[in-house]
Amino acid sequence: MTEQVDVLICGSGSAGLCAATWLARYGLRCKVLERREGPMTMGQADGVQCRTVEIFESFGLGDELLRESYHVLEVVFWADEDGSGRIRRTGRTADTQPGLSHQPHVILNQARINMLLIEAMRRFNGQEIDYGYTVQGVEVDSTKVKDPEAYPVTVTAEKAGRVERFEAKYVMACDGAHSTVRKVLGYNMVGDSTDAVWGVMDMVPRTDYPDIRKKSTIRSKAGNLLIIPREGDSDNLTRFYIELPAGTKAKDVRLEDLQQAAKKILSQYRIEFVETVWWSAYAIGQRHADCFHKDYRVFLAGDACHTHSPKAGQGMNVSLQDGYNMGWKLASVLKGLAPPSLLETYVLERQKVAIDLINFDRYFAKLFSSKGDASPQEFQEGFIKSGKYTAGLTAKYDESSITSDTEVSKELSTNVVVGMRLPSAQVVRFCDSKPLQLATTLKSDGRWRVIAFVGDLSIAQNKTRLDALGSYLSSSDSPLQTFRLEGGDADSLIEPIMVGYGPRHIVELEEIPSCFYPVTGKNQTRDIHKIFFDDESYNKGHGHVYEHLGISPERGAIIIVRPDQYVSTVLSLDDYRQIGQFFSGCLLPQAEPNSVPESKL
């Protein structure tokens, strides 16, 4: 018997789970096949970069993640500067430089990260994982790939000695570095490996090394060591990344070798290993797949299409963000909100990210290597300069149907880059004076945002611009109406948000166009939570969001933001009709023209 599914995901790692969470958020079911017999219990990855924390926040999972994790706030640098064999602290810095993100870099075991996503899937639509399946084959019927209603991909998988067949519209290969799907498709991993071998162990140290609960980089004659404190303050669980001597073979490494290497590097301090809960050794390799898709029906994600060293904490994060990029696009196509060509942007965007990752990892691995010629000061400077990348905030997506850059964009918002995630800063909500981060309004619920930075409304021209924009967004040919979901509220697919500048108390709600407080929800009440001001709050100071984004209060700007919080385009307030032109190029009309529902207010 053959089972038909819209989306089949091979593997329940970070990429697969994040894509499945998106699909569940849209109310779509998928099939997730996992080789293991149950959920991951002990993950190898643990670093959760700022961007990933932002993603969890957007799914409503941020509070749990932040509560359970270790927060990495400071990095200390140690080195043997004079060749005496003794190390000393040579510097310290913030782990995440100020202004990069409103969220911290945190540490939490990958098993718990995965479970947070699994629990979210269950809450959203009861989505579960099918365990104990080993994928054996994948075939794509090229004669059917242009038919949006067809199921052109056939996947065979074995469970308990029985082979089952699945037919899918789309398949995501999230089955790891040794991906069966990638191999069956005939794709290769291109790149190279070095002869450098590193060991890693999670253990409880008993030591008088003073910075054991801080992220530490130690460079010495005996080798290099990276210390990462783990979650849970009571037992001092800690991760050590240890550079092993030249000529070491990863397969020959024993736990005792890692312990002795660490003791040599920290020889001036006492250290005992009370308990070791996990350890491994690996040779550094940097590779990416030579193709990321098959007929835009099978897509590679995560370790199936990029592998690298773990020291920069990128693996789980970049993989998860592959799934985050793909999930909303698959859902948009399956629900008829966007054409299938939208899926081509996954390859355009994430293949470039993978190649950038490999190049960065080569640099970062060399920086850490004892063979490198960087001085302690140069190492520290290089580490700090890499901070934006390791925070996950450097991905820039190229021009496409959902990313449109212009020279005007650069002038209107000098600190906002089209194709990158929208930076956040504090704003004050107009309806209740609550201060909050702008990013918290951009929830991962499938909606696009049109954020109108309307400037200083005490300037008459800005008030005129706001009124004109409001009239357009409220009209029958507004994109809010053209693309509103069938039977949905005015903001069901495109949500308008207003951010004013200056004192909020000089403005009355009635002076603001009603499209920014539409009648919504089962009770059909006005949603007045979409209006904000760049103003002094009562208890948390001023966020200066206009300054942070480089927007002039005299001129303002319109920023269109994708469902994944990346900036699609920046427009002048006077060019508001380009909003409709933009969405006509990437979305499919949902409502009949001139079908504006009658308001109940």
The CATH number covering residue 31 comes to 3.50.50.60
- Same domain, yes or no, for 429 and 531? yes
Percent of the chain with pLDDT over 90: 82
Indicate whether this model's pTM tops 0.85: yes
Higher pLDDT pick, 533 / 44: 533
> What is d(CA 551, CA 451) in angstroms, rounded to the nearest whole number?
12
Q: Is residue 595 part of a domain?
A: no
Domain span at 212 = 192-285
Does residue 43 register a pLDDT over 90?
Answer: no
Give the mean pLDDT of 33-49.
88
Tokens 């030579």, located at residue: 290
Percent of the chain with pLDDT over 70: 96
Active-site hit among 241, 346, 566, 576: 241
Q: 337, 360, 390: which is the final residue of a domain?
A: 390
Is-catalytic flag, 147?
A: no
- Same domain, yes or no, for 333 and 353? yes
Does residue 410 register a pLDDT over 90?
Answer: no
**Least confident piece of the model among 291-295, 405-409, 495-499:** 405-409
Pair type for strands 298-300 and 162-173:
parallel
How many other β-carbons are positioned within 10 Å of the β-carbon of residue 6?
A: 17
How many other β-carbons are positioned within 10 Å of the β-carbon of residue 503?
A: 13
pLDDT digits (tens, 9 = 90+) for 87-100: 999 999 999 999 99
Active-site hit among 310, 423, 479, 496: 310
Q: Is residue 275 part of a domain?
A: yes
Does residue 314 register a pLDDT over 60?
Answer: yes
Higher pLDDT pick, 503 / 1: 503
Q: Is residue 95 part of a domain?
A: no
Higher pLDDT pick, 570 / 247: 570
Q: 285, 312, 342: which is the final residue of a domain?
A: 285
pLDDT range class, residue 599, cuts 50, 70, 90: very low
> What is d(CA 548, CA 414) in angstroms, rounded to the nearest whole number?
9
- Same domain, yes or no, for 447 and 514? yes
pLDDT range class, residue 33, cuts 50, 70, 90: very high
- Same domain, yes or no, for 146 and 295? yes
- Same domain, yes or no, for 464 and 566? yes
> What is d(CA 556, CA 574) in angstroms, rounded to the nearest whole number?
10
Give the mean pLDDT of 295-306.
96
- Same domain, yes or no, for 240 and 293? no
522: CATH? 3.40.30.20
- Same domain, yes or no, for 517 and 557? yes
Give the mean pLDDT of 534-551.
98
What's the pLDDT at 371? 65
What's the pLDDT at 69? 96
How many other β-carbons are positioned within 10 Å of the β-carbon of residue 554?
A: 11
- Same domain, yes or no, for 218 and 185? no
- Same domain, yes or no, for 48 and 181? yes
Is-catalytic flag, 477?
A: no
216: CATH? 3.30.9.10
Q: Is residue 146 part of a domain?
A: yes
Q: 285, 319, 337: which is the final residue of a domain?
A: 285
Is-catalytic flag, 131?
A: no
Active-site hit among 25, 51, 219, 230: 230
Does residue 196 register a pLDDT over 80?
Answer: no
- Same domain, yes or no, for 568 and 462? yes
Give the mean pLDDT of 497-505.
98
What is the strand order of the sheet 88-94 is part of?
88-94, 74-79, 215-220, 223-229, 238-243, 189-207, 271-289, 306-307
- Same domain, yes or no, for 262 and 369? no
Q: Is residue 83 part of a domain?
A: no
- Same domain, yes or no, for 436 and 447? yes
42 by Cβ neighbours in 10 Å (0-12 / 13-18 / 19+) ranks as exposed
What average pLDDT is seen over the chain? 93
> 555 CB contacts (<8 Å, ≥6 apart)?
412, 455, 572, 573
What's the pLDDT at 406? 85
Active-site hit among 46, 95, 322, 491: 46
Does residue 427 register a pLDDT over 70?
Answer: yes
The 3-state secondary structure of 91-134, one letter per residue:
EEEECCCCCCCCCCEEECCHHHHHHHHHHHHHHHHCCCCEECCE
Q: Is residue 380 part of a domain?
A: yes
304 by Cβ neighbours in 10 Å (0-12 / 13-18 / 19+) ranks as buried
Is-catalytic flag, 310?
A: yes
What's the pLDDT at 390? 86
Higher pLDDT pick, 339 / 307: 339
Q: Is residue 397 part of a domain?
A: no
Q: Is residue 396 part of a domain?
A: no
pLDDT digits (tens, 9 = 90+) for 461-488: 999 999 999 999 999 999 999 999 999 9
Structural domains in the chain (count): 3
**SS3 for 564?**
coil
What's the pLDDT at 311? 60
